Structure 1
Amino acid sequence: MTCVRLFRVQIAAGAALGAAAFGAPATAADMAVKSPALNAVYNWTGFYVGGHVGYGDGRLGADTNPLPLQAVFFPHSITGGIGGFQVGYNHQFANRFVLGVEADATFVGPVDLPRRTLGPFNSSIDYVGTVRGRAGYALNGWMPYVTGGFAWGRTQVRVNDAAGSVISEPGQYQTGWTVGAGAEFALSGNWTAKLEYDYIDLSRRTRGLNDFGMPGVTIDPRLHLLKFGLNYQLGDSPWSATPTQPRLPESDNWSVHAQTTLIGQDYPAIRSAYSGTDSIPAGGQAQQTWTTTAFVGVRLWEGGELYFNPETAQGFGLNGTLGLAGFPNGEAQKAGAEYPRIRPQRYYIKQTFGFGGEQEDVPDGPNQIAGKRDIDRLTLIVGRFAVGDFFDGNSYAKDPRADFMNWAMWASAAYDFPADLPGYTRGAVAELNRKDWAVRAGVFQVPDAPNSDVLTFKTGGAVVEFEGRYSVFDQPGKLRVGVFGNRGFTGNYSQALAIAATDPSLDINAVMAGIRKDNLKYGFYLNAEQQIATDVGLFGRLSWNDGQNEILSFTDVDRSLSGGVSIKGSRWGRPDDTIGIGGAINGLSASHRDYLAAGGLGLLIGDGALNYRNEGIFESYYAYSVNKHFTVTADYQFITNPAYNADRGPVHIFSGRLHGEF
């Protein structure tokens, strides 16, 4: 699961990674670009980089059993929602004709699991790339164009066993051609938006399945892609030391930012008396994750803002994000992927009602449009987001892309916040803010079963949080107190144990699945942060849930205590560097322990047996600022009693992180 939050970033050349679908002509027209720009003579010559999202469909050939891929608001298809990156160069001639070349990579959506039809095999396409020529005609602020060229892609045939598990994933590369048309529009500054259609025809190839007792399957891809994109114009000489002047006046009605984070983790062999279905492997392992996110915001009206965050994610957590309750990588999703997959992680409307009086500046940032706002205000948010975007915040431990990586460090681990597999939900949030305090509440969709990617309103989750702001010896601090409750389709630990005790032949996991019904889980968290000197701060969290019914969304923790210190590098001449040192202790309720000891499986853990001890975590990191855009982090985590099991571990986890903000 990915825990994500808002990042303070600054757009620059090379940003627009995975950028969003607000490049349609109507959107461009609605933006308040200053009137002199409309009369300017726009020139399209120069290099550019950007990103796109959209929707695709097509076919992979007869009898290929294609996987249905998610498309959110649109029907599932062989590509589902799409997104990716592009880079190119245009040259505009004196007669207004524009010739250019563009290369792009387009990734597909994740599998729509509820609509997957089980067969002996399933085919899919992982991504497509193109190198194309472009020919257009400049009509001042917009340019229609045609495009075409070379295309390639990677397809897979997933061979399934009788239970539907994938037993082999033979892949192959296929080449072909593409043709399309589109229109690009100048927005503001160096930003342009485009709407483009591409037809992609890849060569026919047959994949032999003789080793599995089946005839070969012929993959013959024909794809239709509709893309909405944003491009950042770099100018004719982007390598020049002199910054390129903006081509149009900047608009203060929209904001674009991006981030990319690559994390590598490994650990050596551990002591292991035994292991089970969800145990972290005893022999050691190395894995990596990579995410790229665009943060696009548009001011709709006074106080009204719309935000959209498409994100690509690739890679796996250690052991497929299994084996530790306090999992060491906050970027690791429960549904990892060998190749990047695109999801629209956030899309929400935010409405702020100011009450007048004193105001504060709002700097430009991700999911934040520059301007002023009343300190006394009411804010309403409706859409898709992560619960952690608005609740359980902390200045020193909240962002696994920039500070602590362990799940029990950047979140109140016993708060089973509603989320799908990547860590997001849909719902509504209301916040009343005053100068010295705030109160916020939210209602959310919950998964339709533990560890499910399907969100439902049949049941739901809610949280209320109070935040107090204060000073101790002129040093600022905050205290957040939250209470939460979720109703979900879960089983009760004590009931499952009682039924299994009547018949030793029963599998306790099958018993648990059979007794699931609408059950309540409730609890609270305390979250404190305190600056003790300039650039030095302490933080701590305490969280608890009732521990009677299964965890739905987050991780296998019923009680958690965490804390630590964060130190900026100003004292040694590195003001943008950060050192973090902290620790956490996680625990389980008595019935939860007994369930695992009887062979039960949780969301992330299950050794088949259990010699219970609290899970202990120590984490330290040094984040080294390379420049204003990139930070490199070395991180070490020491975990005792992994998955609460004294018969296994300890685990030494070494991590490296590269994080870029634009």
Structure 2
Amino acid sequence: MTGAPRIGRDVGRGWGTVASGGVVLTLRGHRHRYLRTAAALASGVLVLPGAGVAADLPLKARAAKTVYEWTGFYVGGHFGYGDAGFGPGTNPMPEQGVVLPHSATGLTGGYQLGYNRQLANRVVLGIEADSTFTSPSDGPALAHSPAPFHTTIDYVGTVRGRIGYAFDRFMPYVTGGFAWGHTHININDGDGVTGLFPVGHYQTGWTAGLGLEYAVSGNWTAKAEYEYVDLSRKTYDLSGFGLGSVNVDPRIHLFKLGLNYQFGDTPWMPVVGGKTKLPESDDWNVHAQTTVLPQGYGPIHSPYASPQSLPGGGQFQATWTTTAFLGARLWDGGEFYFNPELAQGFGLNGTLGLAGFSNGEAQKAGAPFPKIRAQRYYFKQTFGLGGEQEAVEDAPNQLAGKRDIDRVTLIVGRFAIGDFFDGNSYAKDPRADFMNWAMWSSAAYDFPADLPGYTRGAVVELNRKDWAIRAGLFQVPAAPNSDVLTFKTGGSVVEFEERHAIFEQPGKLRVGVFANSGNTANYQQVVDLAAANPGLDINDIVTATQRDRLKYGFYVNLEQQIANDVGLFARVSWNDGQNQILSFTDIDRSLSGGLSIKGSRWGRPDDTVGIGGAINGLSAAHRDFLAAGGVGLLIGDGQLNYRTERVLEAYYAYSVIKGVTLTADYQLIANPAYNADRGPVSIFSGRLHAEF
């Protein structure tokens, strides 16, 4: 699960990233401003032939019509839905459609870039290359269709020609060309669901389609497109698994909605004079982020281990996320935000082995190819209460304008709880500051979330100049670590935020209380049953005794500027520790704190240095459960010599250019997974983050 990024702040950050080969690129959306356009007025002099007197006859001025020009390079992204067939007997993998039915592709999304040339007769000739990625598997649908193996498509790439006709800002077009893709077959465990041995191949073919593109505002165009992709047949020899041969013959249908940013004839540069092609609009915005985060460690002391333990021989892994932040103003005070995100890669050991996990970008559902999810989609309604106003800057998940300082805000939809709760200016964003889960969050807050760290629900906030109070009600996972969210039980949190100044230095104090009701087991009950029935596996007892149980706790979160460009943060959090952790990580109490220093003192005002530490602990019942061989969300060595898990983290974030940072990070973790028999482990990380 990824640490939930901040939004508006991210969170203001957040595009909530594209990373490849250790490089992260972030795109940032346009700022919406209206540009004035001037109409040329024409006047003429009419001379009447054969007349003895010339008369000047003024003609009514005619406004010159500005015709949109499609010529130039462009880059953009798309999101949509698709389906595919692979041929008889291939058992297509059902993939997530969210509000749409699951299908062999589910929701899809990716990137495109291209070039158009508009001819004098308004015919537009172009070439475009794109990549389209599919969704993660749909767990409930998969459970209802067990099979010895399942077939899926990981991505589709195309290089296509385009022929269109420009009706000013509208351009219908047809397209076709070369296509390729990567398919794979998962050989399943005896349950017919759990994939054990993926076998994959690349396949080539052709594509054809049609679409309509419209110039919206500024340099942005929007498009709707249908594509048919036909890839060559590939025979998979599965005889080594006792399954014979399977012919995979992909036929793919893709429906796309996309946005393109139009450049001039010089790629990656604004049009001449920096002017946009059309007037800007304050009623919508686009931002993006991409982050690549590689991590590794060397051999550690490891006298015993389980699959949930960090491997003793060391390991290197990397994650890459790319997020788009789309916002639209619906009416006065009403806004809608949508954040599709691609995620690829794995945390160390598949994000297992540490309670305070070392990579805030590592989701619990890693993938070798990028997977698309509709991470955020929510409505936001602000009710102004009058009085003094404040300016709102254009940012990810934040439309520019003004709002009343005294206001009530209602948010409904899908988001990360960290978008609105437990914020901190110095330790909140693993794409920009501290990476360890116990540093950027109140780690004992078992916030409701699916595997990537998001939930659905509602938040209401009352804001005043010196304080705010906010509360939320959310869906929780159907079971610990489940990717399925349910309202049969629920989670809630109430947070009070106080703003103050100490010696004229601003600060904030946040205090939150939370409670989750979820399908969990009680640690002490499980340990007692295991002791009375030594022939039973303790983790089987966990599954058999899960029912609706409550977990509650609190957190206190401080941020305080102590001098210009120097700030400190501190968090303490606690939960009752009696029942299973449901969503976040195996921590029942946590204390963290540190310093953040901007580089203005050494002539690098956009650089940041951070240093901090965290101490994580467990309840007595939770310790006994792990010592008896129990498995938590992220940890479980099979036995336990308990000590608190201790984290030291330091980083330097170097600003390469505006919007692009390169970070070096070091973490020393003593007693990983609370086990004094293991470690310590030194984890070295890099991070390339870009945003626009």
TM range (shorter): over 0.9
SS at match of 1:180: strand
1:226 alignment partner AA: F
Correspondence 1:195-594 to 2 at 5 A = 195-238=224-267, 244-594=274-624
Residue 98 of structure 2 is matched in structure 1 by 72
Code of the residue aligned with 1:211 in structure 2: it is G
- Give the equivalent residue in structure 2 for 1:114: 140
Matching residue within 80, 83, 91 for 2:117:
91
C-alpha separation in 2, matches of 1:404 and 1:32: 35
Contact 1:255 1:369 survives alignment (8 Å):
yes
1:155 is aligned to: 183
Counterpart for residue 53 of structure 2: none
Tell me how far 1:629 sits from its aligned partner: 2.0
- CA deviations on 1:423-465 (whole Å, 9 max, x unpaired) are 0000000000000000000000000000000000000000000
2:159 alignment partner in structure 1: 131
Residues 585-642 of structure 1: per-residue CA shift (max 9 Å, x gap): 0000000000000000000000000000000000000000000021000000000000
Shift of 1:221: 0.5
SS at match of 1:238: coil
Q: Secondary structure at the match of 1:461?
A: strand
Deviation at 1:70, TM superposition (A): 0.3
Under a length normalisation based on structure 2, what TM-score does the superposition of the two structures give?
0.92
Cα separation, partners in 2 of 1:18 and 1:659, compared to 1, 3 Å: closer
Deviations 1:227-262 (A, max 9, x none): 000000011113669654200010000010000000
Answer yes or no: is 1:146 the counterpart of 2:205. Answer: no
Deviates more, 1:154-163 or 1:565-574: 154-163
User: Contact 1:415–1:545 (CA<8 Å) still a contact in 2?
Assistant: yes
Residues 91 and 64 of structure 1: CA distance in aligned 2, closer, same or farther (over 3 Å): same
Alignment CA distance shift 1:637-1:555 (3 Å): same
Deviations 1:5-62 (A, max 9, x none): 1225799xx9999999x9xxxxxxxx99889699531000000000000000121111
How far does residue 378 in structure 1 lie from its aligned partner after superposition?
0.3
- CA distance in structure 1 between the aligned counterparts of 2:158 and 2:303, rounded to whole angstroms: 52
Is the partner of 2:282 in helix, strand or coil?
Answer: coil
8 Å CA contact 1:82–1:107 kept in 2: the answer is: yes
Tell me the distance in 1 between the aligned counterparts of 2:195 and 2:405. 54
Following the alignment from structure 1 to structure 2, what is the Cα–Cα distance between the partners of residues 246 and 419?
41
Structure 1 residues 64, 339: closer, same or farther in 2, change over 3 A? same
Give secondary structure in 1 for the equivalent of 2:552.
strand
2:425 counterpart SS class: coil
Q: What is the distance in 1 between the residues matched to 2:269 and 2:575?
A: 57
Distance 1:415 1:661 in 2: 29
Q: Which residue of 2 aligns with 1:63?
A: 89
Q: Scaled by the length of structure 1, what TM-score is found?
A: 0.96
Q: Take 2:666 and 2:630, find their aligned partners in 1: how far apart are those partners?
A: 30
CA distance in 1: counterparts of 2:519 and 2:569, whole angstroms: 34
The residue aligned with 2:223 is 194
Q: Identical aligned pairs, as a percentage?
A: 69
Structure 1 runs not aligned, ≥5 long: 23-30
Structural RMSD (CA): 2.0
Alignment-mate amino acid for residue 215 of structure 1? G
Equivalent of residue 652 in structure 2, options 604, 622, 627: 622
Distance between the aligned counterparts of 2:482 and 2:299, measured in 1?
Answer: 31
The one-letter amino acid paired with 2:599 is G
Cα deviation, residue 161, structure 1: 2.7
Find the counterpart in structure 1 of residue 639 from structure 2: 609
Contact 2:26–2:290 (CA under 8 A) maintained in structure 1: no
Deviations 1:271-302 (A, max 9, x none): 01211231110000000000000000000000
Measure the CA separation in 1 of the matches of 2:420 and 2:65: 42
- Distance change (3 Å), C-alpha of 1:35 and 1:224: farther
Please say if residues 25 and 690 of structure 2, whose CA atoms lie closer than 8 Å, have aligned partners that are also in contact.
Answer: no
- In the superposition, relative to structure 1, how do residues 133 and 610 fare at CA in structure 2: closer, same or farther (>3 Å)? same
* Contact 2:27–2:691 under 8 Å retained in 1: no
Distance change (3 Å), C-alpha of 1:582 and 1:244: same
Unaligned runs of 5+ in 2: 39-63
Determine if contact 1:19/1:229 at 8 Å carries over to the other structure: no
1:33-72 map, 5 Å:
40-72=66-98
CA distance in 1, matches of 2:466, 2:452: 34
Contact 2:451 2:483 in 1 (8 A): yes
Q: Secondary structure at the match of 2:657?
A: coil
2:2 is equivalent to residue 2 of structure 1: yes
Instruction: State whether residues 327 and 406 of structure 1, in contact with CA within 8 Å, keep that contact through their aligned partners in structure 2.
Output: yes
Q: Deviations over 1:132-160 (max 9, x none)?
A: 00000000111000000000000001112
CA offset at residue 169 of structure 1? 1.1
Q: Is the 8 A contact 1:205 1:219 kept in 2?
A: yes
Cα pair distance change 1:101/1:583, threshold 3 Å: same
Q: Is the 8 A contact 2:33 2:280 kept in 1?
A: no
Counterpart of 1:5, as a letter, is R
Distance across 1 between alignment mates of 2:66 and 2:545: 68
Matched residue type, 1:133: G
The whole-number CA distance in structure 2 between the counterparts of 1:313 and 1:90 is 30
CA distance in 1, matches of 2:522, 2:650: 37
Structure 1 distance, partners of 2:2, 2:419, is 12
Whole-angstrom distance in 1 between the partners of 2:476 and 2:240: 42
1:178 to 2:207 alignment: yes
* In 2, Cα distance between equivalents of 1:521 and 1:175: 52
Is 1:88–1:103's contact at 8 Å kept on the other side of the alignment?
yes
Query: Compared with structure 1, are the counterparts of its residues 149 and 391 closer, same or farther at alpha carbon in structure 2 (3 Å cutoff)?
Result: same
SS of the counterpart of 1:86? strand
Give the distance between the partners of 1:33 and 1:9, measured in 2 at CA: 25
Deviation string 1:172-213 (CA, Å, 9 cap, x unpaired) is 011000000000001111000000000000011111111111
Which residue of structure 1 lines up, in the alignment, with residue 666 of structure 2? 636
Distance in 1 of aligned mates of 2:34 and 2:229: 35
- 3-state DSSP class of the match of 1:319? helix
Q: Which stretch of structure 1 is more off in the superposition, 1-10 or 382-391? A: 1-10
**Distance in 2 (alpha carbons) for counterparts of 1:19 and 1:633:** 18
Q: Residues 308-337 of structure 1, C-alpha deviation per residue, up to 9 Å, x if partnerless?
A: 000000000000000000000000000100
Q: Secondary structure at the match of 2:108?
A: strand
Aligned to 1:27: none
Mapped to 2, the partners of 1:350 and 1:583 lie a distance apart of 35
Aligned length in residues: 651
How far apart, CA to CA, are the structure 2 residues paired with 1:39 and 1:285? 63
